[in-house]
Structure 1
Amino acid sequence: MTDVDKGPWTVGEPLEAVPEKKTGRERAAEVLRHRILSGDLSPGDRIDLDAVAAEFGTSRTPVREACLTLAQEGLVRVAQRSGVTVIGVSPDTIVENFALMAALSGVAAQWAAGKIDERQLLRVRELHREIRVAAAAGDDIATLNWLFHREINKSCGSLRLQSMLGDAGRMIPQRYFELFPERVPCSLDEHDALIGALARGDGAEARRITEQHFAGASQMLSTYIAQAARNSAATG
């Protein structure tokens, strides 16, 4: 899987995808990033390097390297004496991140509507059916959902846009549907509408639906993060 294959809805590679190809630093950075973006780690929390190293069965070095990566992304602060402290993300930052993803994904869907071929469209339909079956059974849909959106993004025909999507997408929680299972029915209806627009070659509608898809997610997650921050402050 190449860098340009990476894209939302689950962004980057799914947590369970090709783990043998990921270094300890990459795995630690991915999981810690998700915990911060989803509010499991709140601003001010300390990251215990030894505990994380034990969790991943590695030494402190790759975990520290992972934290340095997260520091470059503005998610943690690494200090000589105080160790690693979570900076976190604000509800406003989450809205901003989703707005970037909405804009980029909207353009990708618009371009895909004019370029997607029958084989690619069939694959998108198959993935959507698999998502519906998994959702009805109460199974995890995160990876299938990621594959669904990746297929559309790949159909846009722009490697540069796909790369931009991967970069922006790292700042979106990978396990969104675990946080908000109630979002699934609405998202699946939006998938139906998006497939219809792609099949008709209606780029403007495909873009509108995709941007709407992200707008609803943005509101739910920013509200969730704000509540988590209030709870953390109240118990702190």
Structure 2
Amino acid sequence: MTETDRGPWIVGETSDETSSKQTGRERVRAALRHRILSGDLSPNDRIDLDAVAEEFGTSRTPVREACLALAQEGLVRVAQRSGITVIGVSPETIVENFALMAALSGVASQWAAGRITHQQLLRVRELHREIRVAAASGDDIATLNWLFHREINKSCGSTRLQGMLGDAGRMIPQRYFELFPERVPCSLDEHDALIGALARGDGAEARRITEQHFAGASQMLSTYIAQATRNGTPLK
């Protein structure tokens, strides 16, 4: 899984499954989106089409197409004379995106409680055990956590909902647990409760737990971004 694809909330195929299918435009779009959301590209920074094209070994056309797509996401501004300028993302936007993710993920968990197969539930339990082991040893858990949520979201049985989750997840800064390691114990307890609700087929409880899971994440991340913005610190 690549750095730009790795994160706790995005739903879909792993990058190993999609890397061979990605076009140059998609690769550039994903990389620039990550740099903007992480703060590596700040508001009012200019994007040099030639420099990006050289970096990715492509022509200017897919880079420009990627920037036009990012403009539709509200992350850059494309003007004929001034070129491409980064707009960035505000703490308010992060809160909005988490609210969307909470609502969509809550519905996905509710549907999954009634549709998850025995094999899928076993996979969710296995991933949760791996997360606990990794957290206890101080290893990276972001990818495992990403897979845990992805498995539950896939179990909802709705490709449309999965697509909506993927679109919302791409607008959330990645590597969340590297920023907030203190959030891990609470998240693991919530995972335990969520697995129990899925096993019982309790959709209402699965939805409540999932929304609560995101509520805590939203508050911590929005506070961090607000502080980083005031201090001029990139969100890594």
TM-score, scaled relative to structure 2: 0.85
Q: Which residue of 2 aligns with 1:85?
A: 85
Report the counterpart of residue 124 of structure 2 in structure 1: 124
1:39-50 → structure 2 map (5 Å cutoff): 39-50=39-50
Q: Which residue of 1 aligns with 2:73?
A: 73
How far apart are residue 163 of structure 1 and its match? Answer: 2.2
Return the letter of the residue paired with 1:123: R
* Consecutive unaligned residues in structure 1, runs of 5 or more: 1-6
- Letter of the aligned partner of 1:79 in structure 2? A
Q: Percent identity?
A: 87
CA contact (8 A) 2:120 2:155 kept: yes
Measured against aligned partners, the alpha-carbon deviations of 1:100-129 in whole angstroms (never above 9, x if no partner) come to: 110111011011112212111001011112
The match for 2:156 is: 156
CA contact under 8 A between 2:109 and 2:210: conserved in structure 1? Answer: yes
Change (3 A) 1:40 1:188: farther
Residue 100 of structure 1 corresponds to: 100
- The separation in 2 between residues aligned to 1:17 and 1:137, in whole angstroms, is 28
Q: Does 1:114 align with 2:114?
A: yes
Taking only aligned residues, the RMSD between alpha carbons, in angstroms, comes to 2.3
Matched position secondary structure for 2:77: strand
Whether the 8 Å CA contact 1:10–1:175 is kept in 2: the answer is no
Show the counterpart of 1:4: none
Q: Is the 8 A contact 1:39 1:228 kept in 2?
A: no
Q: Which runs of 5+ in 2 are unaligned?
A: 1-6
> In structure 1, the residue corresponding to 2:81 is in which secondary structure?
coil
Counterpart for residue 172 of structure 1: 172
Normalised by the length of structure 1, the TM-score is 0.85
Aligned mates of 2:36, 2:97 — CA distance in 1: 14
Residue 207 of structure 1 deviates from its aligned partner by: 0.8
Matched residue type, 2:211: E
Amino acid paired to 1:212: Q
Q: Once the two structures are superposed, what CA deviation does each residue of 1:162-205 show, in whole Å capped at 9, x if it has no partner?
A: 22222222212233223333322322221111111111222121
Q: How many corresponding residue pairs?
A: 227
- SS of equivalent residue, structure 2 residue 232: helix
Deviation of 1:139 (Å): 3.3
* Farther off after superposition, 71-80 or 11-20: 11-20
For 1:134-153, list aligned pairs within 5 A. Answer: 134-153=134-153
Deviations 1:39-72 (A, max 9, x none): 3322222223333334333333322221111001
**Which sits farther off after the overlay, 160-169 or 135-144?**
135-144
Give the Cα separation in 2 of the matches to 1:14 and 1:231: 34
Distance 1:160 1:97 in 2: 18
Which piece of structure 1 moves more, 164-173 or 16-25?
A: 16-25
Secondary structure at the counterpart of residue 77 of structure 1: strand
